[in-house]
Structure 1
Amino acid sequence: MIPESELPDDLPLLAAVEAAYPDELTRACEALARSLPVLIECEKGLVGFFYAALRTRLRRRQIRCNYIDGRAPQEPGQMPMALVPTMIAQLREAVRGGTHDEDDARRVMVLPHLDLLTTSSGSLTSEAREVVALLYENPNILWLGFRDPSFNLPKVIANLFQHRIGIIGVARERLAHLVTQRDARKLGRGGLDIYKLYKRVSGVHAVRLRQLLGSLEGEDYPDDPSPVWAQIRQATLEGDLSVPELSLDDDIGGYAEVKSKIKDDILEIIARKEALEDPKQIALIEGLIPRGMIFWGPPGTGKTLFAKAIASSLGAAVQIVNGPELKSRWVGESEENLRRIFIQARQSAPSLIVFDELDSFAAQRGTYTGSGVEHSMVNQLLTEMDGFRSNEMVFVIGTTNFVESLDAALLRPGRFEFQLHIPYPKADDREAILKIYDQRLGLHMSEAALTHAVRQTGHPIEGSDAHTGRWSGDHIQALCRALARQRLRSARTDETTITDVERALTANLDLPTLTPAEELVVATHECGHAIVALHTEHSPAIDRISIRGDLTGALGFVRYADPAHKYVVTHDQLVDSITTLFGGREAELELLDQLTIGSAHDLERATVLAKALIETFGMRLDPDAGHDARDAQVALEVRDFGGGHQELSERTLESLDASIRSLLDRERTRARQIIREHRDELVALRDLLLEKKVIDAKTLSEQVPDAKHPPETPALE
């Protein structure tokens, strides 16, 4: 805290600029004294005051300036000329007609609106083409140019300036010189909290800062200064930027591990820094805060949502930028787009930039198949991230589905060093997400309906394979919106039931329509799988049996519950999977005395598993052990035979083929034995399935008392 008595009573704008930028003014003056052209990059509102302060220093060195700003005296009744033509005329006169005096060698030509000589895309206007020639025509002229960072500047003009100075905001160590005693009284008691103020105004230049602080309203020494701080924050937001209002805990369901990592590695470290007063400790912690973060994972899992929640926790303005939209066909414009985004972020600090689909332009260099602009965009991104002041509250988050494709230079410490995986939601996460939307949309889901929705969203989405069709947070939101529309159409105010959830899950599926004869075959086949799974020790519990079909083309299916152990698969589990696959085929033979082509896929999967067991997993069957000695038939191999058949002898190949055939024959025989032993059970289950079309886990456990079933399984209503 800085005592109020140590702050100035009054501070004119020119004095504020002198106090804020002494280093920049000195560097510019020294460069011009050495006859080096200087380019100052700063906002338009700062140009006049910075030039005035610099001119005072130059006069002390006997260096005069010619200010070419497009203003010219006019005769009475004369039509005013446009700014750019007037500026070009003044420039032409300065270059060709005003350099004959001896003291002109110490004269600086000042271009306060250098950026106006170009178009918004950075290409030269017809007038500016003449300007380029004029700028390079007289090598004895010393140039001082100003450009607003928001405007492009063609390289042919920028290259004229050997010395460049960029000014964004005010350095923290200079901020105390820009606050008056009157300003401090508006911000609360106890003096000036320089760190709290810097967090909100680090990107505001000195002139604008003085104007902002001078406009503060309210009483002196307020008991609650939060409205004044809110006024400051609102005034520092650039353009259409805003601070999102999103709670990490209340508005995002589940994902406890992800939230914990965000809090531990980012939010709590920043909070600890803001509670300190020792500059050395603050500087130490600022060096530990990750400025760049990668959020990676499958689509729809809330990567951008987590980024917004971080911005909300920090009170930071957020820019969400779509990676492909940054790329341009014009040379240099893609890099300029990136540069402009970072400038706006720094001017609105604290701020957070979110690059959606970062891999679209920041993939590993040398792997591009596009226009090649990506290479220079990666370089520009690295340059911008390396250019932050260490105490600036500017953060960059890149989201991607393919973190492995990102350029390695982005992932080194100091850049995108914090990497966070956001996976598909687990059961607890899905339940929390459903509860949030249940409350927001007024669904009034019953406990049974909620449990059913959690379980059903744990399976692949109907019509998609297990790798691309998992339920994400976006899918769960869509399900809840479908439920809300159902309730709105029916003007319902009662509870949402399992039947409602089931209707929403299947509303958009184009399911096949089976004849009674086809239903009999499909029901027999699926119940054959189910009976074998129920009577093999290492098969997972059954969650549902259906003959409604799905979009993959299957006329029916048996869906299994998530296994308790997902990451360790045993020999017995694989063998029981093979046995279960033969269940549908053997049920058709037993009850219908015929086979259909529907078992072809089962046979293919069983063969793949058998080959993997023997050729890849080193669990080769001993052909001489017989069908009853199962434990004695696992012979460990010392090599992987998969994919290397061209190197094997015929004898080895015959031995492997014999083992695969023996394993398949044995498990088919085992499946037939189970089907025959539980024939009555199979018939009863098939008849129930023909009646209900869908059997859930609870109904199955009632039909087959000894069946394995998931805990807390609600029945369909």
Structure 2
Amino acid sequence: MKKKKSTLWFWLILLLVIAILAIVITTTMNGTNEVISFQEFLELLKEGRIQESNVIVKYSAFNTAIIEGYFDNGNGLQQFIVHTSQNLVNDSGILDQLNIVAYQGSATASIIASLMPMVLMIALWVGIFWFMSKQGGGIGGGQNPFSMGKNRARQTKSDVKFANVAGIEEEKTELVELVDYLKNPQKYAAAGARAPKGVLMEGPPGTGKTLLAKAVAGEAGVSFFSIAGSEFEEMFVGVGASRVREMFTDAKKAAPAIIFIDEIDAVGRKRNNGMGQSGNEQTLNQLLVEMDGFGTNSGIIVMAATNRADVLDPALLRPGRFDRVIQVSLPDIKERKAILELHAKGKKIDESVSWHRVAERTPGFSGAQLENVLNEAAILMVREGRDIITIKEIDEAIDRVVGGPAKKSRAMTLQDKDVVSYHESGHALIGLKLESASKVQKVTIIPRGNAGGYTIMTPKDETIFSSKQDLLATIAGYMGGRAAEEIMFGKDKVTTGAHDDLDKATNIARRMVVQFGMSELGMTKYLTMAEESYGKIEGTYSDATAEKIDLEIEKILNESYEIALKIIKENMNTLELLAVSLKTLETITAEQIDYINKENKLPEEVLREKEKYEEEQSKIDAGEIIDLSLDDSED
């Protein structure tokens, strides 16, 4: 930060000095001189208004001459200057008339003096131009302003190996032959085969697409050129196409090599049908030409990553360009376990930690999130002064990744605590009693982010597809919190705590109707996945159809809510036990929840803390604010 500030001040001072010098030199050179023509000079001389003793004639380069002196303007002496040619001075005979000699001036000095103002002004504008580029203000994006079309790909040697990538074994298998081709291209040429010119990796963020590309380069020991799609274009149309050409030229010189384009959808989106071409379209066209090759890119493989392959131009995905598309999915439970074990190396982990159990608690986590979990756990270990990472730090790290840091200092009234306890117990109860519902892993009423509490539920079996029964059970689970509030406190006293639950439930119900054909409207699909992702709902279908869709969504939500109400009414004792456990311990685990469900009584640890909690509660007046961090019980 200090270096950036010093650079900023340096450029500001330099530009100010250049501007002042330009003004001073220009003013000094012209001074108060009145520029007159040679003919006007001769007339003033004839009229006797020239002070002949003070006239100086200077000869300079390129047959030029400068005459300087003073003349009487009626109010006093006025300095003048005349720019003319040496021939006119010699032919006029004024040198003899004035009885002076013309001085031979320095041609170099004369040229520099005459060009100095222009040079300084040019330097001023170059300085401004350079300053803007260095500040990343849009001109060149921090590059040399005179080479904006140059290659911006970063050339490195990757030290990442396949051993550094865990959890995506099938994807690695697809890429092993690329390594073999880069090492032994003659073997493939002899067999009449060629390696794919391009490999597109598609998948959610954090699943290891960039890491895979680096691993291929590291295993093959070849140059690795990396660039983001957004870096091709900045301000000027045509710059991106030039950078593509430069990038492939540099890669050919360094061949064998890998060119990796991250977020290629920023430059490879589908072209429109307009007559004109935007900068992105020119860049895309150049990329298509380079990959298809009016020449051969021997030893060069283009790898790219995107989260949105559906928006890419079809010309990019045809054979001869991106020949191979690899789906890099979120890891399943076995893959999550492998990723956790990989990132646990080099960290002091308690031997009692079960990576299988941790993997069970992290469905939907990407590889990057799992790495972040263990990093957060290590930070928590240091913060708490421990020498080893236990399941307690890992559990808290998972919660931090999901919902943010715990806010135990957030004040909550006894009434709020009561409401949150029953609300979260309602979610958990649906998970326990409804078939096809997800398994309850943890329930807490400790606030995180904007949530007063939350329930973590994971699928009992991780499958590729979700059935209609699964989706309805998920919606009922989201409705459990509001249903518990209504039963315990009445319809008029339900709270706003269910706003996020209702939002998620509505989104699932909408997709069931408009995308999955899981309603009485039939098998019609009203939105593409891209349209649904961008929320393009209005105007996609007629108002009459929109009304039918809304009615179907409302029907699904209402039926799911009735199911939640029915389950809670039938299991009031379990709801009470869950709520008491939450109010006592603030967080209950899957083991404690299963014990309550099977034994229909409170666990021993809850009973031990319950008496202390009730004693403390009796000392607090109704409605008084309490601090959740006061009850720091161990579980």
Shorter-chain TM band? 0.5 to 0.7
| 8 Å CA contact retained: 1:361, 1:378 | yes
The residue aligned with 1:357 is: 263
Instruction: Say which SS state the counterpart of residue 448 (structure 1) adopts.
Output: coil
For residue 378 of structure 1, the aligned residue among 269, 284, 302 is 284
Indicate how the Cα distance of structure 1 residues 531 and 474 shifts in structure 2: closer, same or farther if over 3 A, else same: closer
Q: Does 1:255 align with 2:168?
A: yes
> Using a 3 Å threshold, how does the CA distance of structure 1 residues 611 and 435 change in structure 2: closer, same or farther?
closer
Q: For 1:282, give the aligned amino acid.
A: A
Post-superposition offset of 1:347: 1.3
The question of 1:515 aligning with 2:413 is answered yes
Matches within 5 A, 1:158-557: 241-248=155-162, 250-263=163-176, 265-268=177-180, 276=187, 282-285=189-192, 287-330=193-236, 332-366=238-272, 372-387=278-293, 392-440=298-346, 442-448=347-353, 450-458=355-363, 471-489=365-383, 492-494=386-388, 496-506=389-399, 508-509=404-405, 511=407, 513-551=411-449, 553-557=450-454
Matched position secondary structure for 2:303: strand
Supply the distance in 2 between the matched residues of 1:577 and 1:418 (Cα, whole angstroms). 36
Structure 1: distance between partners of 2:414 and 2:300: 66
Give deviations 1:503-542, integer Å, cap 9, x for gaps: 3344552645422221111111221232233222232221
Which structure 2 residue ranges, 5 or more long, are not aligned? 1-121, 123-145, 527-539, 601-633
Instruction: Give the structure with higher Rg (CA).
Output: 2
Residues 641 and 502 of structure 1: CA distance in aligned 2, closer, same or farther (over 3 Å): closer
Percent identity over the alignment is: 26
Task: Kindly provide the amino acid, as one letter, of the partner of residue 458 in structure 1.
Answer: P
CA distance in 1, matches of 2:255, 2:510: 59
Compute the displacement of 1:577 (Å): 4.6
For residues 154-211 of structure 1, the C-alpha deviation after alignment (integer angstroms, 9 at most, x for no partner) is 99xxxxxxxxxxxxxxxxxxxxxxxxxxxxxxxxxxxxxxxxxxxxxxxxxxxxxxxx
Name the count of aligned residue pairs.
436
Rounded to whole Å, the distance in 2 between the matches of 1:489 and 1:668 is: 43
Secondary structure of the structure 2 residue equivalent to 1:444: coil
Q: Distance in 2 between matches of 1:240 and 1:559?
A: 42
Distance 2:395 2:488 in 1: 31
Which residue does 1:73 correspond to in 2? Answer: none
Read off the aligned partner of 2:360 and give its amino acid letter.
R
SS at match of 1:435: helix
Alpha-carbon distance, 1:430 to partner: 2.3
CA spacing shift, 1:371–1:486, aligned 2, 3 Å: farther
Opposite residue 304 of structure 1, the aligned amino acid is T
CA offsets, 1:542-569, max 9 Å, x none?
A: 1222212443x33222222124264544
Q: Which runs of 5+ in 1 are unaligned?
A: 1-124, 126-151, 156-238, 460-470, 621-635, 708-715
How far is the alpha carbon of 1:384 from its aligned partner?
Answer: 2.4
Report deviation, 1:255: 0.6
Q: Is the 8 A contact 1:541 1:560 kept in 2?
A: yes
Instruction: Tell whether the 8 Å contact from 2:183 to 2:220 is kept in structure 1 after alignment.
Output: no
The question of whether the paired residues in 1 share the 8 Å contact of 2:441 and 2:589 is answered with: yes
Question: Could you tell me which amino acid in structure 1 is paired with residue 178 of structure 2?
Answer: I
Q: Is the 8 A contact 1:244 1:311 kept in 2?
A: yes
Q: SS in structure 1 opposite 2:258?
A: strand
After superposition, the Cα gap between the structure-2 partners of 1:588 and 1:369, relative to the gap in structure 1 and judged at 3 Å, is: farther
Deviation track 1:304-340 (CA, whole Å, cap 9, x = no partner) reads 1111111122221111122322325456443332222
Q: 1:315 to 1:388 in 2, by over 3 A?
A: farther
Q: 1:335 to 1:493 in 2, by over 3 A?
A: same
Report the TM-score, using the length of structure 2 for normalisation.
Answer: 0.58
Aligned CA distance change for structure 1 residues 355 and 706 (closer, same or farther; 3 Å): farther
1 CA distance for matches of 2:565 and 2:172? 51
Shift of 1:432: 1.8
Q: Which amino acid aligns with 1:405?
A: V
Any conservation in 1 of the 2:232–2:283 contact (CA below 8 Å)? no
Shift of 1:269: 5.6
Secondary structure at the counterpart of residue 341 of structure 2: helix
Name the CA shift for 1:504/1:609 in 2 (closer, same or farther; >3 Å): closer
CA RMSD across the alignment: 4.3
Matches of residues 18-167 of structure 1 in structure 2 within 5 Å? Answer: none
Which SS does the other structure have where 2:345 is aligned? helix
